[in-house]
Homo-oligomer: A and B are copies of this chain.
Amino acid sequence: MKLVITGGAGFIGRMLAQAILARGSLTGPSGRAETVDELVLFDASAGAPLPPSLARAKLVLGDIAERAAIDALIDRPDISVFHLASIVSAGAEQDFDLALRVNLDGARHLLEACRRLGSRPRLVFTSSVAVFGPPAMGETVDDLSKETPQTTYGMTKAIGELLVNDYSRKGFVDGRAARLPTIVVRPGRPNKAASSFASGVFREPLNGEPCRLPVTLDTMMPLSGYRTAVGNLIRLHEAAGEAIGADRAVGFPSLDVSVAEMIQGLKRVAGGRTLGPIEMAPDPAIQRIVAGWARRTGSAKARSLGLARDPDIDSIVREYIEDFLD
């Protein structure tokens, strides 16, 4: 089978590709593990050179909002797609048109290209807890909560869930939407996601650099470690379609913690390392976006499908140290 990961040159895309290449196969429509003989990472930009562990992956650069590029990509009936490409939250607030072009038009092109194959391929679309917001949102959000996003990013993700549901209902694709909490600890530099601080608060101190924290210590964040998220994306792809039901979106399990608890976990695990300082640097724009997000998530459907939850903050910090520092 061929596997396409959009946004594949990004952090989660690379991690997912590495995990799938390490397994060598993926269970799809046949219900059996199929060998992945072609793996394409599609992205708008290449980023850092691919590591040796991704030597068998092919990087294709292109614009997801250009239909012809997507049609050329989706060219085998035995294909599976992980659709991670997206303009992120603060980026989408800055450039509304770009967000609609990439997040909405891009998703439509991909769904149409998959539909044209006629083989009802599996497609895993990454949605986000940013689909939730006041006034419908309570303290805890789950698979039955109304989606009233308060960002353009969340709006395009909620639309993506609706499209994936209807394309699946019509039998055009076997779609699944992964409603992701904030994924940590992302390596590298801060990005344009309003949630960027949730990685930075671990990463910068561990790197011996100062972290400028834009939110207050009591800010609650539903988090997932990246290893857990990648494992869950694969589990969601492999789940039997009937087990997911008519609403193809699945809220991923999260560890719901305050920023203060995140910092406590960091200090427990840091051991003898000298941590960079954490400085309070309130940013009203970021706080306004984050205040519109859910504080906790329920994940009954995810658990029924065998998706995992991180046991604690400490294990999330340890992963990052193992993978990127030691």
Interface set, chain A 245-277, CB cutoff 8 A to B: 245-247
Q: Name the residue on B nearest A249 (C-beta).
A: B148
How far, in whole Å, are A246 and B147 apart by their CA atoms in the complex?
A: 12
How far, in whole Å, are A170 and B149 apart by their CA atoms in the complex?
A: 12
Q: Name the residue on B nearest A301 (C-beta).
A: B135
How far, in whole Å, are A145 and B136 apart by their CA atoms in the complex?
A: 8
How far does the Cβ of A79 sit from chain B's closest Cβ, in whole Å? 21
- A144 sits at the interface (CB 8 A): yes
Contacts of A170 in B (CB 8 A): 96, 152
Contacts of A245 in B (CB 8 A): 135
The answer on a CB contact under 8 Å between B149 and A166 is yes
How far does the Cβ of A97 sit from chain B's closest Cβ, in whole Å? 9
Interface set, chain A 142-181, CB cutoff 8 A to B: 143-150, 152, 155, 158-159, 162-163, 165-166, 169-170
Contacts of A24 in B (CB 8 A): none
Interface set, chain A 92-141, CB cutoff 8 A to B: 96, 100, 108, 133-136
Contacts of A162 in B (CB 8 A): 147, 149, 155, 158-159, 162
How far does the Cβ of A233 sit from chain B's closest Cβ, in whole Å? 22
The answer on a CB contact under 8 Å between A136 and B144 is yes
Most B Cβ at <10 Å: residue of A145, A147, A149, A246: A246
Show 5 residue pairs from A and B whose CB-CB distance is below 8 angstroms, ordered by the A residue: A135-B246, A145-B146, A155-B166, A158-B162, A159-B163
Chain A residues engaging chain B, CB cutoff 8 angstroms: 96, 100, 108, 133-136, 143-150, 152, 155, 158-159, 162-163, 165-166, 169-170, 245-247
